[in-house]
């Protein structure tokens, strides 16, 4: 999902001075802006493919509660140390390990999200061409075109879209509200309550899918909470910035998808009879978000391979091209599988960070210190936590991953010892 890079450009990895810290509501507004996006709508639609409407919304509520629950611990550590997640991980993963693991996770996630949103824009563009000009252009070709447009913007002048964001994000919110109103008017609350999903799955699986949509955002919470004045501000900004907006967008996406019979947001708008203007808003919303996805993905690749600053444009191009290839291949058709991967591999990172700071270092900033090279206790705990999230057949996958990573890190830390 996109982030507001301008908020953190002044300080990259160094500690944020106390006098430059912000009140909680300022940070909460940034999180709210992050949550008002296409994927937040789509997860509601994905949930109702396997759950009745009420259970889908319940899964969303529980899922975002889990996200916020572990997010606040990362956020409070960020407020304590005034540093981003990539730096916080230098203790538990080691300086080199953090650069590789955190950058790899961010890069893979953002490349995937770039593909998803370029695919959405391509589907919307094909729909517009068909309704306006009667032209049948494949979604794959349209996805390729828009992937290149978005990538070019990220390389050459992504800041030019900053003001477009001010229009696109509120417009998307209004569009979602109007689409929900049309759905309720067309279908009615009684019919919605009788809805039965076509491919039933468990409530626990729905909860895990919800966690997957914001797993990365919660894990890198310190990137923003490092600007918080206190732990309390970090908690409040996470709770009020993520939870209300996330539940609202998810619920609206679920209602619209029940009526349309698909979680493909482009088809949802078309089946609800909304005009091409709605599809244009959809393209603009994905464009502004995807520019940041490509740019941040390029930065992650640059950091992962320790490239020079001059190679950032090339890294951005690589990230965008890989995402465009995924879009052309139709990654949107594998949206739920994509969320499952994120659910399994990202929360265990948070488990390692929480165990290191809140248990081993007793949540004291003065006890935190960087570990040179690779801290194999952190790497091992992350791998085993990811496997636990994938393989354990009971419980909630992200919680299984987080708890396993915490326990394994504690054991390995005691066995290996801190050899700093």
In contact, 2 and 293? CB cutoff 8 Å: yes
Q: Does pLDDT of 6 surpass 90?
A: no
pLDDT at residue 38, as a whole number: 86
Distances (CA, A) of 330 to 162, 176, 322, 324: 28, 24, 13, 10
Chain centroid to CA 53? 23
Q: What is the pTM of this model?
A: 0.83
**Average pLDDT in the 138-156 region?**
89
Query: What is the rounded distance in angstroms from the CA atom of residue 263 to the CA atom of residue 212?
Result: 16
**Average pLDDT in the 286-301 region?**
82
pLDDT at residue 12, as a whole number: 53
Query: What is the rounded distance in angstroms from the CA atom of residue 76 to the CA atom of residue 221?
Result: 9
Chain centroid to CA 120? 16
Instruction: Centre a 10 Å sphere on the Cβ of residue 366 and count the other Cβ atoms it contains.
Output: 8
pLDDT digits (tens, 9 = 90+) for 26-42: 899 888 888 888 888 88
Q: Which tops the pLDDT comparison, 184 or 12?
A: 184
Q: Does pLDDT of 200 surpass 80?
A: yes
- DSSP, collapsed to helix, strand or coil, labels residue 360 as helix
Q: Which tops the pLDDT comparison, 159 or 173?
A: 173
Q: Which tops the pLDDT comparison, 285 or 390?
A: 390
**Average pLDDT in the 192-218 region?**
90
Weakest mean pLDDT among 134-138, 247-251, 310-314, 360-364: 310-314
Per the prediction, the chain carries an average pLDDT of 87
Q: How many helices (H) and strands (E) does the chain have?
A: 19, 0
Weakest mean pLDDT among 8-12, 293-297, 358-362: 8-12
DSSP string, 404-415: HHHHHHHHHHHH
pLDDT at residue 309, as a whole number: 66
% of residues, the chain, pLDDT over 70: 94
Q: What is the DSSP letter of 306?
A: T
∠ Cα 216 284 208 (to 5°): 25
pLDDT at residue 274, as a whole number: 78
% of residues, the chain, pLDDT over 90: 48
Query: What is the rounded distance in angstroms from the CA atom of residue 196 to the CA atom of residue 192?
Result: 9
Domain boundaries, the chain: 24-416
> Is residue 8 very low, low, confident or very high in pLDDT (cuts 50, 70, 90)?
very low
pLDDT at residue 2, as a whole number: 39
Q: State the architecture of 24-416 in CATH terms.
A: Orthogonal Bundle (1.10)
**Average pLDDT in the 2-9 region?**
40
pLDDT at residue 235, as a whole number: 97
Q: Does pLDDT of 297 surpass 50?
A: yes
Q: Which tops the pLDDT comparison, 300 or 11?
A: 300
């Amino acid at each position: 999902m996109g982030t507001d890079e301008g908020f953190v450009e002044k300080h990259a990895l160094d500690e944020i001075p106390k006098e430059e810290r912000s009140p909680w509501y300022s940070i909460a507004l940034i999180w709210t802006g992050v949550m008002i996006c296409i994927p937040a709508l789509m997860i509601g639609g994905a949930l109702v493919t396997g759950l009745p409407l009420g259970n889908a919304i319940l899964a969303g509520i529980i899922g975002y509660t889990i996200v916020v629950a572990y997010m606040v611990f990362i956020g409070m550590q960020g407020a304590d140390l005034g540093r981003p997640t990539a730096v916080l991980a230098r203790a538990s993963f080691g300086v080199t390990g953090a650069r590789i693991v955190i950058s790899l996770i961010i890069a893979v996630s953002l490349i995937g999200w770039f593909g998803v949103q370029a695919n959405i824009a391509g589907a919307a563009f094909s729909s517009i061409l068909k309704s306006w000009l009667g032209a049948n252009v494949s979604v794959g070709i349209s996805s390729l075109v828009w992937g290149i447009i978005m990538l070019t913007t990220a390389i050459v002048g992504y800041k030019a879209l900053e003001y477009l964001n001010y229009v696109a994000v509120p417009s998307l919110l209004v569009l979602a509200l109007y689409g929900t109103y049309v759905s309720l008017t067309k279908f009615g609350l009684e019919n919605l309550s009788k809805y039965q999903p076509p491919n039933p799955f468990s409530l626990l699986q729905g909860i895990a899918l919800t966690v997957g949509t914001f797993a990365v955002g919660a894990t890198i919470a310190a990137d923003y909470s490092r600007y918080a004045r206190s732990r309390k501000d970090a908690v409040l900004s996470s709770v009020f910035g993520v939870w209300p907006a996330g539940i609202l967008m998810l619920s609206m996406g679920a209602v619209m998808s029940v009526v349309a019979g698909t979680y493909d947001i482009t088809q949802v708008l078309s089946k609800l009879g909304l005009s091409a203007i709605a599809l244009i808003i959809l393209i603009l919303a994905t464009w502004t978000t995807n520019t940041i996805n490509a740019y941040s993905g390029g930065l992650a690749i640059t950091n992962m391979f320790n490239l020079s600053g001059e190679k950032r444009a090339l890294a951005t191009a690589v990230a965008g091209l890989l995402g465009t290839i995924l879009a052309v291949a139709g990654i949107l058709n594998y949206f739920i599988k994509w969320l499952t991967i994120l659910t399994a591999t990202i929360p265990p990172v948070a488990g390692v960070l929480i165990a290191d700071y809140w248990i081993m270092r007793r949540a004291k900033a003065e006890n935190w210190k960087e570990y040179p090279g690779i801290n194999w206790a952190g790497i091992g705990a992350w791998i085993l936590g990811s496997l636990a999230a994938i393989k354990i057949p009971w419980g909630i996958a992200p919680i299984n991953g987080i708890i396993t990573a915490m326990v394994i890190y504690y054991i390995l830390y005691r066995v290996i010892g801190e050899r700093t």
